[in-house]
Structure 1
């Protein structure tokens, strides 16, 4: 019985305990589901300050008993019901816009706040944000914030993560930021911040990551000796000066160091890497550093970027200790030496190798290497020579330009079809284009074979390159017509076939199928026939060069339809072509921004790779102010037409003045005639204007003097006449700009203009009739008045003088005849004037 009772008691206790536990769990669930009314109203106030075009905050409603802890982006403490996390980030898509609401200050327990990607329309960070004293993480990146970072940020004493990157913040970094001793990460990159880096930041004891890149910071690199946990330091793209502190070598946990693109100086010794045993990423490029490293350095880097540092003149021997690098850039490093044999035993994980723009001599060895990925190699602008040897079959990019390589292009047939970029320009290569080029149809983006001795016709197989964006065949000896198969290359944006021996008509299909073209250069060939009007279909065309050919006929009136030359749109991205086929295959890679790809610093990655290193920048040789000039980085700003040195005739269409963004216009050395369009002054951005050696006549339009940007003008050897319009602009040019026009006068010419007659007005037929009537009305009134006064005088004389009376009557017959003749004469004059 006692056992039974005990069993019942145990069961009751179990049941009661279970019920109590269940009740507690339900109570906990009830607390977790509810939120404080004050905080719910604060969130609704936040919503009221935002424009929500995608209805992202649809479930944020003001109904009673509507639990804000269940709202999108809101997290609450499950015990207290206070809002602890608010994440409204929108991945830079700007689906939300407006202001940062002051109601946020009514969330006293908020620990994590992420408002990234909201368009705050260049409003500043409100001071109310600094009242969130429980905040541990604050992220507002890519949100169009402006103004300074307030020094009251020190009120956020618990803050351990701060990300205000990619905004328009300006002013200095507050020194009070160094008072936040709990900070582990600071990200302030991509703003307009200026001033020195506060030394207090270098004293943060828990700091792990610091990114201040892409600002306007000046002064020296602070001492980070107290930030012993620092793993990632990025101070790149600022205006820092001075030396790299020796204390940098004491940061034993540092794995990522980037101080590139500053104005830093000094010698880099082993002491700078004294304890950096775990360093794997080093970027010192674009400074004035001189590296003096021994072969005993203890780290092995995965990414080495030393572009424009001084490593030479001898080849840096310390690189022999780097056996596992995936990225090596020692370009423009003052090396004038032969490459040692050990260097060509490249790591199998190589992804990018750049030794360009040095004075490296010798030949390339056979490199039958097998890489795990498809690397890019840049050996350009050196003194390398000889036949191009056996190259690795797996290549994504190859740049051998501006060397002295000779031989044919047959080596290309041994490279894998994954090659996306090939620049072999400015060498001594000869022979024809191999038919095997068609195997690159899936990947090849850029093909540059300019400035060689290649010959023959373009094979029709080139039309298989459907991904091709840039084709350079300039300055070779190619002949024949442009093959029709190229109309399959519909992604072409840049075509330069200049300075060859191409012939035939300019294909009309260029305008019909290559709609992406922004540069078309066919200069210095033997193209004949008329200008096809289909070229006018190229709405993206910004540079057209058809000069020095055998073209005849008129300039089509539709030349005024080039949209890109008529409207202002600066697209810097059109001049560059991404050629890396392996960017998207980086292990553990995450997209950091629009142009960056960077694996995290934790585990299993090879290097941080920026897409900016994988760009080919278009370049064009343009006739500019009487000489040839190479345009590269600023090519997207150039809008130019050059059809000079042909056999074109007819008038210059007035529609050409529609191209209001035109910068350079050259139609010299043709047979064009007629007047210069009087509205030429509408080309307000014109810098170069050359109409010389044609048959233009008439006056120089007065509107030409209104183009204040004009710096080169040549109207010489035409049939222009009259006075050169006065004004500081046209008189500032040399007399040679106007010579060869015998009837032209005025400064800067020595021919003096004749005094100008009173300005004539243009009148119509009715105006002429009115003037005639007024003329004759005045004549008749004057004649009548004179007759009356004369008659009275004569009658008086006749009455008073007898002898005079006889004389008058004797002469009356003669007077009658004189009046008759006079009237007839004036009537004849009137009829003549009417005619």
Structure 2
């Protein structure tokens, strides 16, 4: 027995040794013997160092690569892995995921071909800066894995990759910055072992035989050709039957494919698991051929022009888990989906009508999106009675009416969107028992009634709450006890027009994770609490406009880091705030304090922290004194409104340093002197309103030369004199030109017919909108303007683009009304009254 045991042990030892040899002993640098000596091949070490010399390593990520004694073993270098037996370099991975920085390429050393045993090369996100992939890449004959994605290489497509006949994984995607083109894919069939191929954003617009080429890759399982401009396969390709039928995942999103693509895909009926055909040119019916893809688990046909459900489109898709048909033109009611084991169903942005479908049999559903359709009628609890696994329910942007039912049976629901419908009545208290809810968005309905603490009793995971109303006559009332401590920590609180006053809601100070707060028009008439500014610690957007909030910023405790207010969008307009403006607010990105009782100077603008300020509205307050001559650092300011205050003195010359400004409003103050000539540096100006001041001097000629984008120019109610410069005829975009109530003399220029926008009938825009240039691109503002219309002062905003007027009234103009003015057929109002004009009115005035 002992002899047998000894033989068995010897056999197992030999077998283990053989297994290690067969595996090649490949190990990563992190699993090698910590006490081992330098084992890398000298020739390969020198090749790696030559490769490093061709890189720009600003973060010194490759500090472990070197010639020093302690760095001799290249197998210990970051990104390098070697064979445990031979010491040959097997893997080079310098992707962002490994070194956590982006290297730049000056040149690729040809010595890289010394790494003849290399089977894995990953340079994902290395910046080639438009340089070409070297031809010798095709000499690394043992490569099985090659990732050159998002490397920004340029030049000709690297067809030398076709020499890498052992390649199994190839990713050349996301090099779209240099519009990488491929004249053909004739090199691709030589990669007969390829299982994974990603050529996303490579321009294959003229490669008409791409499908035939793919058919010649017998081992291919994963194919991604996202955004390649692919044409539909040519007819000879469609009949080609691939013997392997290996394709399991196909992503052909964002191309130019028609429904003929399904004939090619039908070759893979039994193998396809994932199929993505979004954003193509698919039109007409959803083909029956889909119903034969019995292995299909994920199907996306979104953003196409599909119109009709074919009777058997989904008949046999018993494995289907996710179906995305959003953003098509589907009409009518849903087909029979009862045989499917769907986990996700997206039919948003179609033209589906009628009542909500009965989905009770789809008990596996976790995500349901039916938003942006034309479903009508009421929401019934029976529609979703068996969907206990449902996590996302989106019925927004429909025509659903009636009241909200009790949906507590949806015990797994996390996201509940019903916004932009016609729902009425109250919100049932039972919603407070849906303990997994993270998002409640019911905005833009006509909900009313009382919200109690019980509505939130078990909502400890709630992050987004949006109950804003679209109906001014109906609103929700939050009847919350002053000492209530909510169970949640919200990220977004969006409750405009929800009445929660008269006291400032104390429970807000318990919310430590707030990034978005809107409690505008909430009926609050309390004093601004001492802890208010501490809310700004994490908040990026805060809107409290339209309340009756009283108090002074000077009464607030500022026990928080000033830096916390950076990038804040703060709207406290239309309240009753008093006192001076604290300098800390200059760090905001967007600051609207208009329509309050604020006083003192605006010296806070001199703070260097104001460099990030994009929008400032202090109109309709009581601020006074001179505008400080310290505006040079406001280089990012796009909108400045100081109108309707008590500011005096001259407009500072440093206003010309605010060269990105598009809207400048200084109306109804006490400014004197001339318009500073430095203002001509502000060439992006669209609106200038300095009306109702005490400005004097001639109207500058440079207004019509340097400020060529002006749409609105208001100089009314000042002491401007001299004649009208002909240069104003260069303002081809002008829509509102008001020089009324000045001392302007001379004749009306005959060149007014050059005002192109006023010479055209019709309207191009309703509002005049500006983007403030935030990273998310969403922060905008709309201009408004106040002017005399039909004998009284009126303010226009949402239809400001409709107002096209010239007002030269109450001046000392002489001579005749030039016939050229009758070419301005787009004018809605022309006022030349109270001047000293002579001669006859031209009969062509009827053209206006």
Q: TM-score range by the shorter chain?
A: 0.5 to 0.7
The separation in 2 between residues aligned to 1:464 and 1:674, in whole angstroms, is 55
Aligned to 1:205: 218
Secondary structure of the 1:321 match is coil
Aligned to 2:587: 539
Q: Does 1:38 align with 2:43?
A: yes
Output aligned runs, 1:163-312, within 5 Å. Answer: 163-167=171-175, 168=177, 170-173=179-182, 174-179=184-189, 180-189=191-200, 195-196=206-207, 198-203=210-215, 204-213=217-226, 215-220=227-232, 226=242, 228-240=245-257, 243-251=260-268, 252-271=270-289, 273-295=290-312, 297-300=315-318, 301-312=320-331
Secondary structure of the 1:153 match is helix
Would you say the 8 A contact 1:218–1:241 is kept in 2? Answer: no
The separation in 1 between residues aligned to 2:530 and 2:664, in whole angstroms, is 23
Report the CA distance between 1:334 and its aligned residue: 0.8
The separation in 2 between residues aligned to 1:660 and 1:535, in whole angstroms, is 23
Report the CA distance between 1:39 and its aligned residue: 2.6
Report the CA distance between 1:181 and its aligned residue: 2.7
The separation in 2 between residues aligned to 1:568 and 1:541, in whole angstroms, is 5
Q: For 1:407-463, what per-residue CA distance to the aligned partner results, in whole angstroms no more than 9, with x for missing partners?
A: 123446434344322221111111244334665465413524232421557855798
Secondary structure of the 1:384 match is strand
Secondary structure of the 1:480 match is coil
Report the CA distance between 1:123 and its aligned residue: 3.4
Report the CA distance between 1:309 and its aligned residue: 1.6
Would you say the 8 A contact 1:697–1:720 is kept in 2? Answer: yes
Among 133, 137, 141, the alignment partner of 1:129 is 137
Q: What TM-score do the two structures reach when normalised by structure 2?
A: 0.66
Q: For 1:304-349, what per-residue CA distance to the aligned partner results, in whole angstroms no more than 9, with x for missing partners?
A: 1111123212x11233332x222111011110111233x145424x
Aligned to 1:528: 576
The separation in 1 between residues aligned to 2:137 and 2:447, in whole angstroms, is 65
Report the CA distance between 1:356 and its aligned residue: 0.8
Output aligned runs, 1:44-123, within 5 Å. Answer: 44-52=49-57, 53-56=59-62, 58=64, 60-61=66-67, 66=72, 68-69=74-75, 71-76=77-82, 82-91=88-97, 93-94=100-101, 96-98=103-105, 99-123=107-131
Report the CA distance between 1:710 and its aligned residue: 3.6
Would you say the 8 A contact 1:302–1:325 is kept in 2? Answer: yes
How has the CA–CA distance of structure 1 residues 366 and 546 changed in structure 2, closer, same or farther, with 3 Å as cutoff?
farther
Aligned to 2:391: 375
Aligned to 1:333: 350
The separation in 2 between residues aligned to 1:378 and 1:244, in whole angstroms, is 31
The separation in 1 between residues aligned to 2:718 and 2:485, in whole angstroms, is 47
Aligned to 1:447: 466
Secondary structure of the 2:92 match is strand
Q: For 1:75-120, what per-residue CA distance to the aligned partner results, in whole angstroms no more than 9, with x for missing partners?
A: 4556765433333334072264434332212223322212234344
Output aligned runs, 1:391-430, within 5 Å. Answer: 391=407, 392-411=410-429, 413-430=431-448
Would you say the 8 A contact 1:178–1:200 is kept in 2? Answer: no
Secondary structure of the 2:161 match is helix
How has the CA–CA distance of structure 1 residues 472 and 189 changed in structure 2, closer, same or farther, with 3 Å as cutoff?
same
Secondary structure of the 1:133 match is coil
Report the CA distance between 1:364 and its aligned residue: 1.1
Q: Does 1:715 align with 2:714?
A: yes
Secondary structure of the 1:44 match is helix
Among 686, 693, 696, the alignment partner of 1:698 is 696
Report the CA distance between 1:685 and its aligned residue: 4.1
The separation in 1 between residues aligned to 2:700 and 2:142, in whole angstroms, is 72
How has the CA–CA distance of structure 1 residues 72 and 185 changed in structure 2, closer, same or farther, with 3 Å as cutoff?
same
Would you say the 8 A contact 1:375–1:396 is kept in 2? Answer: yes
Q: For 1:164-215, what per-residue CA distance to the aligned partner results, in whole angstroms no more than 9, with x for missing partners?
A: 23444523234234332322111233667765463443222222111122x3
Q: Does 1:365 align with 2:380?
A: yes
Q: Does 1:741 align with 2:758?
A: no
Among 361, 386, 389, the alignment partner of 2:402 is 386
Would you say the 8 A contact 2:431–2:456 is kept in 1? Answer: no
Among 472, 482, 488, the alignment partner of 2:494 is 472
The separation in 2 between residues aligned to 1:505 and 1:647, in whole angstroms, is 25
How has the CA–CA distance of structure 1 residues 506 and 686 changed in structure 2, closer, same or farther, with 3 Å as cutoff?
farther
Output aligned runs, 1:634-645, within 5 Å. Answer: none
Report the CA distance between 1:159 and its aligned residue: 1.8
Would you say the 8 A contact 1:32–1:81 is kept in 2? Answer: no
The separation in 1 between residues aligned to 2:330 and 2:62, in whole angstroms, is 55
Q: For 1:238-292, what per-residue CA distance to the aligned partner results, in whole angstroms no more than 9, with x for missing partners?
A: 4556653323233121111112123433422112x15311101111111112342
The separation in 2 between residues aligned to 1:448 and 1:677, in whole angstroms, is 47
The separation in 1 between residues aligned to 2:704 and 2:438, in whole angstroms, is 49
Secondary structure of the 1:360 match is strand
Report the CA distance between 1:122 and its aligned residue: 4.5
Secondary structure of the 1:721 match is strand
Aligned to 1:767: none
Secondary structure of the 2:323 match is strand
How has the CA–CA distance of structure 1 residues 85 and 491 changed in structure 2, closer, same or farther, with 3 Å as cutoff?
closer
Q: Does 1:431 align with 2:456?
A: no
Report the CA distance between 1:535 and its aligned residue: 8.0
Secondary structure of the 1:320 match is coil
Q: Does 1:650 align with 2:655?
A: no
Aligned to 2:337: 319
Output aligned runs, 1:147-158, within 5 Å. Answer: 147-158=155-166
Report the CA distance between 1:465 and its aligned residue: 8.4
How has the CA–CA distance of structure 1 residues 67 and 399 changed in structure 2, closer, same or farther, with 3 Å as cutoff?
closer
Would you say the 8 A contact 1:455–1:479 is kept in 2? Answer: no
The separation in 2 between residues aligned to 1:659 and 1:419, in whole angstroms, is 47
Query: In angstroms, what is the RMSD of aligned CA positions?
Result: 4.6
How has the CA–CA distance of structure 1 residues 718 and 682 changed in structure 2, closer, same or farther, with 3 Å as cutoff?
same
Output aligned runs, 1:566-581, within 5 Å. Answer: 566=612
Q: How many residue pairs get matched?
A: 659
The separation in 2 between residues aligned to 1:724 and 1:522, in whole angstroms, is 44
Would you say the 8 A contact 1:244–1:266 is kept in 2? Answer: no
Q: For 1:109-158, what per-residue CA distance to the aligned partner results, in whole angstroms no more than 9, with x for missing partners?
A: 32221223434444332222122223222113344444442222222222
How has the CA–CA distance of structure 1 residues 242 and 493 changed in structure 2, closer, same or farther, with 3 Å as cutoff?
same
Report the CA distance between 1:730 and its aligned residue: 6.6
Aligned to 1:608: none
How has the CA–CA distance of structure 1 residues 401 and 554 changed in structure 2, closer, same or farther, with 3 Å as cutoff?
farther
Q: Does 1:514 align with 2:536?
A: yes
